[in-house]
Amino acid sequence: MKLLTVLLASVTLCTGSAIPLVPKDNSHYVEGVSRYIWMPDGEGALHLVDLQAPVDEAQLLSTRNGANNQCWLFTRQNPTSRQVLVNGNINSVRNSNYRANRPTKVIVHGWNNNGNTQMNPLITSAFLAVQDVNVIVLDWNRLANGAYTTAVRGVPDVGRHLGNFLIWLFNNAGGNWNQLHLVGFSLGAHVVGNAGRTVGGRAARVTGLDPAGPQWGNNPNALNRNSGVYVESIHTDGRSLGIFDPISDADFYPNGGRNPQPGCLTPTCSHGRATELFAATIRFNRFVGRRCNNLNEAQLSSCSGSQLLMGNSNLGKRGAGIFGLRTGSSWPF
């Protein structure tokens, strides 16, 4: 029996460390065991990521002062042409369309993405379509486009710099914490989690869009319930590119919260589906989640408890628990 246990452990170790046999397929992946996983970039191209790759300490040092990150402002006056807001430069704000009396929405992209990645204009245009708001897109592409392991290590610093920027902005140009909504996708979900904690959990809402899973299980720097007044996550690729366990006040599991999502024809489409579903909730606000007794019910979409709308832009939204629902396969789902 002891020999059998050793052999099984060896097989598991070898399987976890092996390069996946099927290209662009993550069905092999086991969190905390597998060494390799396929991840998409902002254009949908897939890259094989080594989760044991050494961290580039030099790159981390060069990004810790936040100078490589940019905050792009979009409003109804400039819906597609960005204005760059610079921490410490009040004229960059005074010369922009930022208005302190508007609600402020902050959007943060994930790994191998940038400020121009499709999710950013998609969500920005949705917010501006329904409300007169300041939308700030954080571009942290210099770090986000390095090795995944290095980007993971740098997430807390990116989040702290974002949080400190918002403190400076509100203190010097005006703003209301009760009208602040932080939204992050994948690694960006953990960025806004850190930003929210940096500002003392004062953001009215924090939304994680399929928060990144690899290297984030039991990670104290992950998005959590202390990141804002109301914290919500939408899980679409759990146990693969996204976290499956509930980490927020309210955790939504559309279509079981895992791959494949309806209409997804490529293995990693499900991860990005969270951004599309969220944009649809802002514009149409019609996805009703039903509270689940446990994760198994959520995965089966067999929940029948109390109702809570998924996503949307409502800053006064409150709710708690695990919620399941089904959606369509194409926009607006």
The DSSP output letter for 25 is -
Q: Please check whether residue 297 is in contact with residue 303, taking contact to mean a CB–CB distance below 8 angstroms.
A: yes
Query: How would you list the strands of the sheet with 230-234, edge to edge?
Result: 83-85, 70-74, 134-139, 104-108, 180-185, 205-209, 230-234, 250-254, 321-325, 288-291, 307-309
Q: Please report, for residues 31, 223, 228, 240, the alpha-carbon distance to residue 183 in angstroms, rounded to integers and kept in the order given.
A: 24, 11, 11, 21
DSSP classification of residue 180? E
* CB 192, CB 106: distance < 8 Å: yes
Nearest Cα neighbor of 109 from 186, 197, 162 is 186
In this structure, the number of other CB atoms found within 10 A of the CB of residue 122 comes to 17
Task: Tell me how far apart the alpha carbons of residues 64 and 324 are, in angstroms, rounded to a whole number.
Answer: 39
Are 135 and 166 in contact by the 8 Å Cβ rule? The answer is no
Q: Which residues are catalytic?
A: 186, 210, 271
* Peptide bond preceding 220 in cis form (omega within 30 of 0): no
Tokens of 205: 């809402």
> Kind and range of the H or E element at 137?
strand 134-139
Q: Where are the alpha helices (DSSP H) in the chain?
A: 2-17, 57-63, 90-94, 119-130, 141-144, 148-173, 187-198, 269-284, 295-300
Q: What is the largest CA-CA distance in the chain?
A: 73
